[in-house]
Structure 1
Amino acid sequence: MRFLAIPTAIMAATALTACGALPGSGGGSKTVTVWLMKGSASDGFIKSFTESFEKEHEDIDLEIRIQEWTGIVDKVNGVLEGKDSADVIEVGNTQVAQYAETEGLSELTLEGLRDWGGKDWLKGLAEPGSINGAQYGVPWYAANRVVIYNKDLFRDAGIKEIPKTRAAWLADTEKLNEDGRQGIYLPGQNWYVLAGFVWDEGGELAVEGAGQWNGALDSPAALKGMDFYKELQGLGNGPKDADEETPPQAEVFAQGRVAQIIGTPGQAAQIEAANPGLKGRLGFFPVPGKTADKPGAVFTGGSDLIIPSNTDDRRAAVAVISALVSEKWQTALATEMSYVPNKPAYAHVLKGNPGATAMAEGATQGRATPKSARWAEVEAKNPIKPYMTAVLLGQDPREAAKSASATITKVLSSDR
């Protein structure tokens, strides 16, 4: 799943086709259609992967089609219902549950454990792809939030080391608030960041029991996560009734007086584009945890690979996934696109890329949203945002949390 809610409007997808056997390969007897999402892989990666795969599998031709995220849910459902065809599909990691509900996915548990080293996958990618103990989504790559900071402002405040614990983070942020600086810009409705604090406390956004999902923001642990969010948010001037896109936090940071924001490393490019004077002056570190031995929990977005059960050639589809999740192509994709690979053991290739390195370190504590097929509907309604604003404006946290949890429960338990 990307860091935005899953869109539902249908939009025509553009296509980039890479098919046909290499000269002298003798041609292929099977054509495997692979849907990849726009922006997930560069043209160079797709070309290299296709040529290498077809050389190693002379009986398979690859047809790689690039899809838009807008409208992808309806398009994938079309494949699962037999209205369209594809053999391997890239999907958002948190979309797997809703596709699995259709009973149109091929189970990949055996291959995951036997051939792909599934026990070593990143938790935030692997867990959303596992439904009732069966693996349907195969982790491909991940991305998550980190702290982006202004090195000059940290130096001016006398901060020589990045904070490793929440307590140190709060102390440093308070110190950064002097001399016209803003220690952190944290909008009041950045609910993905809140989710990490909730998970750190042992809480959940929603829990499942006896076949029913229920909102859990009013649990003592989840309320502790909101308490920390309120404390951190209060050390800056971020709006209490808006999210990180209103206004875009990269633009606020680019003005040069904000010391920290929490976002994906890719926002550094937006900051530098808005203020070229900050080029080379940005740093990154994982969201600190409660103790120094591990970073804080973070929402892990990214992609999984699925195989529709109605594929014409499951063997060939499995071969494509085997290649895409291999060390060779995992490290190639991570290097090319600055993604976090699906196993921490592969993250060494990100050395020299400070943003991606911080992201990979944080990904070890990555989590995903609840594995309900209806979670996308919760995000569309999103009662978490007004709950956060209510608490930040002084309303009783427990009562506000109970109200938000009740809405979550209603959405997750409703019939379509």
Structure 2
Amino acid sequence: MRRRRLLALSCALTASLVTGCGLVPGETGQERSTVVVWLMKDSASEEFLDRFTEEFERTHSGLDLDIRIQEWTGIGEKVHAALESDAADAPDVIEVGNTQVPQYIEGGGLLDLTLESMRDWGMRDWLPGLAEPGQQLSAQYGIPWYAANRVVVYRKDLFERAGITAPPRTRDEWLEITGKLNSGGDQGIYLAGQDWYTLAGFIWDEGGDLAEESGGSWRGSLDTPAALRGMDFYRRLQALGSGPVDADEEHPPQAGVFAEGRVAQIVAVPGLARAIVQRNPGLEGKLGFFPVPGKSPDRPGAVFTGGSDLVVPKNTDVRDGAVAVVEALAGAEWNTELARTMNYVPNKTTLAAKVADEEGVAAMAAGAAQGRATPATPDWANVEADNPIKEYMTKVLTGADPAGEARRASRRITEALTAPAG
């Protein structure tokens, strides 16, 4: 076991040395514990972390926090090493990307937090896109912390010019409105042909998935009727703009395209609006946000939910302290404060009203209630490494048979998910 016990008053046991420590006879030492917390760069502001640390240490006597900021680059290997470490400075709480949690669960190095999360932490209200990747069978290892997801960023002035008074609330309305926006040199929507995260939402809306698990084995499922319906909607929407069919949303970066052209809509995280206005200050005050529309007006469309979970290594020697940190960071008070500070979506659907005064975050929160994550298999990274979904999308958008291409892409996904380790 790692040992990280600090004696606040522990110079020696002899009277002379006690005097040298500034103690008077009769004073006793108080044992303290330090909880080492790894958080990712830019997940929380320095000011937020300072306030959290001060309040946590004030309300948890005997516990000190040591928060260490980590870079995303190379974090996977670093976390795997930490989960196997007995070093005194190994982390007791770690922030990890929500889709990364299955990798760490598979290695057996995470503490099962099911009892705590069921009893006190309101797990029934957690965003599914954060909670589901942190589960294995009936056990909860990853505790949702914060989320961000795509919304529709739109030009209010171009909507007004086209006579559109309100954002669409259904997918059919979205197609109709986008068609109307294609006039007078304006582009109704810029949607790159390989934006597979956006496609995933349409597939989930139809009841399909990118891959499915049965009997402990995973297979690609782009060839199911539901997934094919999702791809067909993507095709119809993408055709209403001039986005490249053979590139994703970063090639070229869609923020630049939106800023420089007369584009009415893009699908992106709200934070991209800052980059757009920086490139074109004339758009200040002209940008709005609405959730990706769903199939019915009472329910936004499904979206890919990115964000972070908090995990506790099984080898921690300050279990109670680590659990207390997770409880505080994921609790309503500090979770709401983080969301307001960083423009995130809080970890529970019941906290959505707390960010309703910020248009972009409110749109994200509405979509996050229907959010999902990539398939909860530790091997999903193999799929993204040479992503067959992108090639499939381009093939369909250039006229190939959707069913045939979906079968080929599904086979490649299955191969990636069943490839032997190493």
Is TM (by shorter chain) over 0.5? yes
List gaps (5 residues or longer) in structure 1. 1-18
Q: In 2, distance between residues paired with 1:108 and 1:404?
A: 37
- Give yes or no for the alignment of 1:158 onto 2:163: yes
Q: In 2, distance between residues paired with 1:151 and 1:230?
A: 25
Task: Give the secondary-structure state (helix, strand or coil) at the position aligned to 1:339.
Answer: coil
Q: In 1, distance between residues paired with 2:30 and 2:387?
A: 51
Deviation digits for residues 154-213 of structure 1 (CA, Å, limit 9, x no counterpart): 000000011000110000000000100000000000000000000000001000011110
Q: Could you tell me which residue of structure 2 aligns to residue 48 of structure 1?
A: 51
Task: Give the secondary-structure state (helix, strand or coil) at the position aligned to 2:66.
Answer: strand
Q: Could you tell me which residue of structure 1 aligns to residue 347 of structure 2?
A: 342
User: Partner amino acid for 2:51?
Assistant: S
Q: Could you tell me which residue of structure 2 aligns to residue 6 of structure 1?
A: none
Q: In 1, distance between residues paired with 2:260 and 2:99?
A: 34
Give the 5 Å matches for 1:21-170. Answer: 29-82=32-85, 85-170=90-175
1:216–1:222 contact (8 Å) kept in structure 2: yes
State the 1:359 CA deviation.
0.4
Task: Give the secondary-structure state (helix, strand or coil) at the position aligned to 1:29.
Answer: strand
Give the 5 Å matches for 1:3-18. Answer: none
1:27–1:58 contact (8 Å) kept in structure 2: no
Equivalent of residue 355 in structure 1, options 357, 360, 366: 360
CA RMSD of aligned residues (A): 1.4
User: Partner amino acid for 2:299?
Assistant: K
Equivalent of residue 375 in structure 2, options 370, 382, 397: 370
Deviation digits for residues 334-387 of structure 1 (CA, Å, limit 9, x no counterpart): 110000000122122213210001000110100111000010111111110000
Task: Give the secondary-structure state (helix, strand or coil) at the position aligned to 1:61.
Answer: strand
Task: Give the secondary-structure state (helix, strand or coil) at the position aligned to 1:341.
Answer: coil
State the 1:83 CA deviation.
6.2
Q: Could you tell me which residue of structure 2 aligns to residue 298 of structure 1?
A: 303
Q: In 1, distance between residues paired with 2:105 and 2:393?
A: 31
C-alpha change, 1:363 and 1:289, in structure 2 (3 Å) is: same
Q: Could you tell me which residue of structure 2 aligns to residue 196 of structure 1?
A: 201
Q: In 2, distance between residues paired with 1:80 and 1:376?
A: 19
Task: Give the secondary-structure state (helix, strand or coil) at the position aligned to 2:212.
Answer: strand
Q: In 2, distance between residues paired with 1:226 and 1:345?
A: 32
State the 1:332 CA deviation.
0.5
User: Partner amino acid for 1:276?
Assistant: P
Q: Could you tell me which residue of structure 2 aligns to residue 209 of structure 1?
A: 214
User: Partner amino acid for 1:267?
Assistant: L
- Give yes or no for the alignment of 1:175 onto 2:180: yes
- Give yes or no for the alignment of 1:286 onto 2:279: no
User: Partner amino acid for 2:84?
Assistant: E
Equivalent of residue 313 in structure 2, options 308, 317, 320: 308
- Give yes or no for the alignment of 1:219 onto 2:224: yes
User: Partner amino acid for 1:96?
Assistant: V
2:134–2:309 contact (8 Å) kept in structure 1: yes
- Give yes or no for the alignment of 1:233 onto 2:245: no
User: Partner amino acid for 1:74?
Assistant: E
State the 1:312 CA deviation.
1.0
Task: Give the secondary-structure state (helix, strand or coil) at the position aligned to 1:347.
Answer: helix
Task: Give the secondary-structure state (helix, strand or coil) at the position aligned to 1:179.
Answer: coil
Answer with 1 or 2: which has the greater Rg. Answer: 2
User: Partner amino acid for 1:173?
Assistant: T
User: Partner amino acid for 1:358?
Assistant: A
Number of residue pairs matched by the alignment: 394
Equivalent of residue 399 in structure 2, options 381, 394, 402: 394
2:151–2:292 contact (8 Å) kept in structure 1: yes
C-alpha change, 1:224 and 1:342, in structure 2 (3 Å) is: same
State the 1:27 CA deviation.
7.6
Could you state the TM-score of these two structures normalised by the residue count of structure 2? 0.92
Equivalent of residue 324 in structure 2, options 319, 325, 349: 319
Q: In 2, distance between residues paired with 1:389 and 1:122?
A: 31
Task: Give the secondary-structure state (helix, strand or coil) at the position aligned to 2:226.
Answer: helix
List gaps (5 residues or longer) in structure 2. 1-5, 9-28
User: Partner amino acid for 1:269?
Assistant: R
Q: Which moved more, 1:354-363 or 1:339-348?
A: 339-348
- Give yes or no for the alignment of 1:253 onto 2:258: yes
User: Partner amino acid for 2:137?
Assistant: N
State the 1:291 CA deviation.
0.6
- Give yes or no for the alignment of 1:405 onto 2:405: no
2:7–2:32 contact (8 Å) kept in structure 1: no
State the 1:280 CA deviation.
0.6
Deviation digits for residues 214-273 of structure 1 (CA, Å, limit 9, x no counterpart): 000000100000000000000000000000000000100001400000000000000000
- Give yes or no for the alignment of 1:331 onto 2:369: no
User: Partner amino acid for 1:272?
Assistant: V
After TM superposition, which residue ranges in structure 1, 4 or more long, deviate above 6 angstroms?
none
Could you state the TM-score of these two structures normalised by the residue count of structure 1? 0.93
User: Partner amino acid for 1:305?
Assistant: L
Q: In 2, distance between residues paired with 1:281 and 1:70?
A: 35
